[in-house]
Structure 1
Amino acid sequence: MSEGFGNGVRRRASAGIFAALHVLLLVYSLSGIFSKLASSQPFLSFEFVALYGCMLLVLFVYAIAWQQIIKRLPLSVAFANKAVTVVWGIVWGFMFFHEQVTASMVVGAAIVMAGVVLYSTDGDEKDGEEK
């Protein structure tokens, strides 16, 4: 009975790490917004420096948090999940830059998400078989 409880706690902790990973990847994707906005400003203008500084700040926070995530997840799993930034790129492009979302972009994003889900859940099944 305690083994079942331990597995439940482990799964909740794992779900929490995955949630933190995906929040972190959302934050990471914001660097693309700042860099694209900075690129539309005159070089070394106040706006350029401020937006570029925000991009660097996001990347700094991401780098520190990424190290904490990979302490708790296998690197291959964490890195495979990084592909969801493609989806965030599509969302941010639509919301902030009024870019057109095409059917092929949606299909591509769905394939990426399916791959992430399949890869992430594949280890859970193998872990259950080994124990």
Structure 2
Amino acid sequence: MKTKPKFKNIIILQLVIIIYSLSSVCAKFASNEAFLSPKFVLFYGIEILILGIYAILWQQVIKHFDLSIAYANRATGLLWSVIFALFIFKENITVMNIVGIGVAICGIILVNLDEHTSPDTDH
């Protein structure tokens, strides 16, 4: 078990998750273009580039977290995706969206708290 993550590492983890969420933004832009049109290829290419950058950064970030903590925190991607949908695409956010994000955030908190309060069982 790793030590408690530093605040700086948690911020970096969230930035990496935001980068991952941006790939969905590019996918949405690409989906609004004609298949294989120059804009479609551009947005699709940017999406692949973002995913490549994300993969490299993710490998570096998980060095500082237990894997269970890092993956639980990826659920914050839901929050970032809804924020992007609201501000970039002007999509409507429903009460159910907010409730769902709230449930996911509660789950993240529970997983994070469990990891930090569980006794060390390594012998």
Task: Using structure 2 for the length normalisation, give the TM-score.
Answer: 0.88
CA distance 1:127–1:57, change in 2 (3 Å): farther
Residue 52 of structure 1 is aligned with which of 44, 50, 70?
44
Q: Which amino acid aligns with 1:29?
A: S
Task: Using structure 1 for the length normalisation, give the TM-score.
Answer: 0.83
Q: Which amino acid aligns with 1:60?
A: G
Q: 1:64 corresponds to which residue? A: 56
State the 1:127 CA deviation: 5.5
Residue 68 of structure 2 is aligned with which of 66, 76, 81?
76
Q: 2:111 corresponds to which residue? A: 119
State the 1:14 CA deviation: 2.2
Q: 2:78 corresponds to which residue? A: 86
1:105 aligns to 2:119 (yes or no): no
Q: How many residues align?
A: 119
Structure 1 gap ranges (5+)? 1-9
Residue 18 of structure 1 is aligned with which of 4, 10, 20?
10
Distance 2:86 2:8 in 1: 29
Q: Which amino acid aligns with 2:6?
A: S
Distance 1:118 1:52 in 2: 36
1:37 aligns to 2:29 (yes or no): yes
* Identity level (%): 34
Give the secondary structure class of the aligned counterpart of 1:100: coil
Structure 2 gap ranges (5+)? none
> Per chain length, whose mean CA-contact separation is higher, i.e. which structure has more relative contact order (CA < 8 Å, sep 6+)?
2
State the 1:126 CA deviation: 2.6
Give the secondary structure class of the aligned counterpart of 1:48: helix
